[in-house]
Structure 1
Amino acid sequence: MKDHYAALGLNSAATLSDIKKAFRQKAALYHPDRNSAADAAQRFREVQEAYEVLSDDDKRQAYDDNRRRGLLDSPIETAREIWNAYFGRIL
């Protein structure tokens, strides 16, 4: 799963205006007409895709839901971390 927030250099708490601003900056940086690097076109497409998902409320919600589920790739390890964090706070 691609990390659209990382593609734009943002965290998941970013507002729509943050997303728009980051998109404009990254798009200008990686646009193939302005950047002659071999991977510029690919990076530009990643930035475009990230913006398309994160700027649409429904798509962003679905992406965030899938992203949260993806954090549970190792449920035992996640449960252990939650358990330790919980008891670390109450002790």
Structure 2
Amino acid sequence: MSKRDYYDVLGVARNASDEDLKKAYRRSAMKHQPDRNPGDAGAEAAFKECKEAYEVLSDGGKRRMYDQHGHAAFEHGMGGGNAGPGFGGADMGDIFGDIFGNIFGGGARQQGPRRGADIGYMMELDLE
């Protein structure tokens, strides 16, 4: 199944400002929020789709990649790391904090530096 254009999902023009994106996302998220539409699988799918669209379009780097390559920029093997909306190793607390913080006017919580990726190396040592 092909994905809809993220700009169409949010109902904004390709040159929409960050503020326009935020307004469109809030409007769409509130309309399709699963708690407001219990048992409606279509609303849940639409909510997830608008969340995914906003996560890409609200990030300058991801938006540039999407504008150049479309959805292919976030498929496996392109874009590198966890840049895509698949949340490969993302912290779910950060994701929900960003989503609900944006909807209800709160900002992202303050936190220290993020932990880097683990590095593994095999070596042999002679103990004498």
TM-score normalised by the chain length of structure 2: 0.50
1:62 aligns with 2:58: no
Q: Output the CA distance in 2 between the equivalents of 1:65 and 1:38.
A: 32
Runs of 4+ in 1 over 4 A off after TM superposition: none
The alpha-carbon deviation at position 4 of structure 1 amounts to 0.4
Residue by residue, what CA displacement relative to the aligned partner does 1:22-74 show, whole Å, maximum 9, x if unpaired? 0000000000001243301100000000000000000000000114xxxxxxx
User: Percent identical across equivalent pairs?
Assistant: 46
2:8 is aligned to: 6
Q: Which runs of 5+ in 2 are unaligned?
A: 71-128
Q: Which residue of 2 aligns with 1:70?
A: none
Q: TM-score, normalised by structure 1?
A: 0.69
Q: CA deviation at 1:12?
A: 0.2
Answer 1 or 2: which has greater helix percent. 1
CA distance, structure 2, for counterparts of residue 14 and residue 66 of structure 1: 18
Which one has more relative contact order, counting CA pairs under 8 Å at least 6 apart?
A: 1
Query: Mind listing any 5+ residue stretches in structure 1 that lack a counterpart?
Result: 68-91
RMSD: 1.1
Higher Cα Rg, which structure? 2
Alignment-mate amino acid for residue 59 of structure 1? K
